[in-house]
Structure formats: C-alpha cells, structure tokens
C-alpha cells in the first residue's frame, strides 16, 4: 500500500464506524490499529435487522436523525451518500438489495455477509486488528496519544478515533466507555436513553393479553399533546408493548421519559374504519347476531384476546349478549377501539434497545472533519455521538458515513 500519510492511527471499536474508518485510513496509507473489546468485531452487525442487516437506506436525509443538533449529520451524509456506500460495497464484493421503501439489505439477506466482507477487506488493506482489548484510557502526550487497555497494553499513536458505539445492547458490546474517554478530554455527554426499544405500560391489561398482535395506528402524546403517529404492528407482552410501530415512536417516548414528561400512547386498532361507520356496523350486527356474546361479535374485527380485554376495560362483561348492545355501549367500545389509551412508565431498557439517544455532544465536534474541538488529533464516529436515527438503516448509514469522513480527515497530512 502506498504510504500517502505518515500517521499512525488507533481506532477504538470494531463496529460499523470503526471498520469503515479503518479501511478508509488504511487505503490512504496510514498505519492502522483497530481495537475491539469482544472476541471478534462486528457483533452488532451480525445481530442487526433480525440477522439480515438493514445496512442503509437509499432515502437519507437529516430529518431522519435526532439529537441536540441533528443538522450535524448534513455534511457527513452528503459527503458519503447511499450511492457511494453501494459502490463501495460492490467494490468489496458485497451486493445490496434495495427495497421499494429505500431500505437496503445484503443480496444474500444475511448479516454475516456484511460482517465478513468488511472484516476481510480491512485485513486485506493492512489493518491490524487487536481483539479482546478494552481501551480504558487515552492519555494525551506532547504530540501523540497513549492508549491503555484493561489487558495492560499501552501504545502511542498520532491520531485516535473513538468509535465505541453506545450503551445499547451490552450483550453485544454496548458500553459507556467511549463517553468516559471523551469526558477525560473535557467533552460533555448529552444524557443517554434507550431508543428503538419496547415500552413498559402502567396497566394490568397487557399481561393478560401477552402475545396478542394487531396492525394499529399508534399515537404518542407527551404531557397530553399529540407528538407523533405511526402505523404498523403492535404486540402486547408481559412487560408492556412491542412491535415495529412501538419501536418507531420509542425514541421520542424514551427521551420524554428522561425529562420526566407524562408519556401516553393511544392505539387505534382499526385505523381503516371511522368511528361512525364502526358504531353503525356494531349496532347492526348486534341485531342480526343478537345471541352472540359481545366478545364473539368483536372477534371478527380484533384478536379475541384483545376483544376480551378491551370489553373488560370498557366495563362491559364479554359474555353480555350482542342484542343488549345500547348506543352508549357501542360508543364506549368504539372509543376504546379507536383510541385505547395507556400510560408509558418506562422503556424495556438498554439491554433490549437497538440504539441509544444522547452521547458525545455534537456542539464540541467539527461536523466537517469529526475532529474534537477540545483536542486536536482526537476524532469521533458513529453512535458514540449524540445522533440517533430512525429505524430503517439510518443508524448504520451514519456509522459508515461518519467513520469514512473521520478517517479521510485523520489521514490528511
Ligand atoms: C439487535 C440490533 C439490531 C440492529 N439493527 C439495525 C439495522 O438493521 N439497521 C441499522 O441501521 N441499525 C441497526 N442497529 C443499530 C446499529 O447496530 C448501530 O447503530 C451501529 O452498530 C453503530 O455503529 P458503531 O460502530 O457506532 O457502534 P457499534 O457497532 O456498537 O461498535 C462499537 C464497537 O466498539 C466496541 N467497544 C466499545 N467500547 C470499547 C472499548 N473501550 N475498547 C475496545 N472496544 C470497545 C464494541 O464492542 C463494539 O464492537 C441495530 C442494533 C441492534 C442492537
């Protein structure tokens, strides 16, 4: 490899951002050491997208990201677009399948392909990978940085990239160590919270109907004010509620819980029907099928478990005969079907979260270079930063793009 840059570079974290950065820096001719605390890199890549890895999204924009300063992503996304990622992947033998909605997956439909392609290519570019090395401290010397690991390894480098990810999914390597290192250089950490995560409800209903699934529209209310509405599936669980629609509202819900706001969700279990049509339909059926218990009458519209619980919550005995349905009762039922409210008391926690909100404040990092504004030669990339994306490949894309940008700049003589 042509030695275009004289720098020795240490990259802490062998996830998406660290792997992309190590490849990019090595291709620029830098001597690159990649440190990973796990036995192998790319553990989150392997577990991602239900084992398929939603690697990116063809429709990327700053509005798909959150944090104190989402516009921080603007330069980075323009500097490394979806097309560039796709071209790069192709160059390392990794072909992508782009779905109609923009989500991209490896053609093999296996996350393993992504992990293997990136790790193999990094090695072929000359990146030296050190696994089972947990970096605990980075010390600034006169013109260099000294890295110290929990395994008693110390080594000096010209430049350092912190790509340690977030606290989400500790079983896959999620850790807060990157924040500790950043803080040691005077960086501020925006309080972190689990995102793309299931929610705990303040109710006894969900436990009784655990396992029941439904397509629904979920509306999120913060302190009683409508914040967001999303359509998708929901799944009641022992602890609360899950499903794609819930993951999609979880970032805002979790951030609001952190600031002690009242978080409520309203479930519209039949978004395709309006209240009036539903009420008329129920009253008409209650006449033609008058001997049916109310729960049976509803079972053609909703999962039977959900129908029973909903009637109970509306204070109507599920065994009530359909012919006894009054206009008032019909209204009560329809009101629950169209806007079943639950208070959210917590999230299912970092262990179950796909990502974390919060992180190293982007106000203290140069968005055009990813370099620390507190310490020259120190860089950040990926989820360790206070940037979190929507579900759909956005989080990986920010990791690839910020890793790429940081590495290009770190290699600049
Ligand atoms: C189950 C699951 C499914 C997901 N699915 C998707 C998806 O389909 N699409 C999508 O866009 N996003 C998905 N995500 C989110 C995505 O995985 C992350 O946003 C992305 O991995 C962030 O990349 P990163 O390189 O910043 O951090 P990571 O991938 O977390 O990598 C950081 C690495 O640093 C290592 N590390 C941490 N501290 C140290 C230390 N002190 N010393 C040495 N090494 C250290 C960690 O072990 C880890 O390997 C998913 C996440 C999870 C948990």
> Residue 412's pLDDT is what?
87
CA 276 – ligand 1 centroid, Å: 47
Q: What is the DSSP letter of 362?
A: G
Domain ranges for the chain: 8-194+356-411, 198-348
Tell me if the pTM is above 0.85: yes
> Residue 145 is inside which H or E element, if any?
strand 145-149
Residue nearest to atom 33 of ligand 1 (CA): 13
Residue (of 66, 9, 14) closest to 356 by Cα position: 66
Residue nearest to atom 5 of ligand 1 (CA): 48
pLDDT digits (tens, 9 = 90+) for 147-188: 999 999 999 999 999 999 999 999 999 999 999 999 999 999
**Span 312-341, average pLDDT:** 95
**Span 72-90, average pLDDT:** 98
Residue nearest to atom 26 of ligand 1 (CA): 382
CATH number of this structure's domain 8-194+356-411, picked from the four choices 3.40.1440.60, 3.50.50.60, 3.40.50.720, 3.90.1150.10: 3.50.50.60
Closest approach atom of ligand 1 to CA 133: 43
CA 102 – ligand 1 centroid, Å: 21
- As to burial, measured by CB atoms within 10 angstroms (0-12 exposed, 13-18 middle, 19+ buried), residue 123 is middle
Closest approach atom of ligand 1 to CA 384: 26
Q: How confident is the model at residue 413 (pLDDT cuts 50, 70, 90)?
A: confident
Residue (of 300, 303, 305, 301) closest to 206 by Cα position: 305
Give 38's strand partners.
none
Give residue ranges with CB within 6 A of ligand 1.
12-18, 35-38, 41, 43-44, 47-49, 53-54, 134-135, 163-165, 168-169, 172-173, 175, 177-178, 354-355, 382-383, 393-396, 399
Q: What is the DSSP letter of 379?
A: E
Residue nearest to atom 41 of ligand 1 (CA): 135
Q: How confident is the model at residue 1 (pLDDT cuts 50, 70, 90)?
A: very low
- Helix intervals (H) in 185-291: 205-208, 244-258, 275-288
């Amino acid at each position: 490899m042509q030695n275009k840059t004289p720098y020795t570079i240490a990259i802490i974290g062998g996830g998406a951002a660290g792997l992309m950065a190590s490849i990019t820096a090595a291709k620029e001719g830098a001597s690159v050491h990649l440190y990973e605390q796990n036995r192998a890199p790319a553990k989150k890549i392997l577990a991602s997208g239900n084992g398929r890895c939603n690697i990116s999204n063809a429709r990327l924009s700053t509005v798909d990201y959150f944090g104190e300063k989402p516009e921080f992503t603007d330069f980075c996304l323009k500097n490394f677009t979806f097309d560039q990622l796709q071209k790069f992947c192709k160059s390392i033998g990794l072909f992508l399948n782009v779905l109609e909605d923009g989500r991209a997956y490896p053609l093999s439909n296996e996350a393993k392909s992504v992990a293997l392609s990136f790790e193999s290519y990094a090695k072929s570019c000359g990146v030296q990978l050190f696994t089972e090395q947990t970096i605990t401290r980075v010390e600034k010397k006169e013109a260099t940085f000294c890295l110290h690991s929990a395994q008693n390894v110390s080594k000096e480098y010209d430049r350092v990239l912190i790509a340690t990810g977030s606290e989400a999914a500790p079983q896959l390597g999620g850790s807060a160590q990157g924040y500790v290192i950043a803080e040691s250089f005077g960086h501020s950490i925006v309080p972190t919270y689990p995102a793309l995560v299931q929610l705990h409800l303040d109710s006894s209903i969900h436990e009784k109907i655990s396992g029941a699934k439904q397509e629904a529209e979920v509306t999120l209310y913060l302190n009683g004010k409508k914040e967001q509405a999303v359509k998708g599936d929901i799944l009641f669980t022992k602890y609360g509620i899950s499903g794609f629609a819930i993951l999609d509202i979880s970032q805002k819900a979790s951030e609001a819980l952190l600031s002690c706001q009242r978080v409520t969700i309203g479930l519209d279990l039949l978004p395709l029907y309006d209240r009036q049509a539903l009420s008329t339909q129920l009253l008409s059926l209650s006449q033609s099928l008058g001997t049916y218990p109310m729960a049976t009458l509803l079972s053609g519209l909703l999962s039977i478990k959900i129908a029973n619980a909903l009637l109970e919550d509306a204070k109507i005995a599920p065994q009530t005969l359909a012919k006894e349905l009054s206009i008032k009762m019909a209204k009560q039922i329809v009101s629950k079907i169209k806007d079943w409210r639950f208070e959210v008391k917590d999230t299912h926690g970092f262990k179950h979260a796909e990502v974390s909100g919060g992180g190293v404040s982007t106000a203290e990092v140069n968005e055009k270079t990813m370099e620390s504004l507190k310490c020259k030669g120190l860089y950040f990339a990926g989820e360790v930063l206070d940037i979190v994306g929507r579900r759909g490949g956005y989080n990986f894309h920010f990791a690839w793009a910020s890793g790429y940008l940081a590495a290009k700049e770190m290699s600049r003589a």
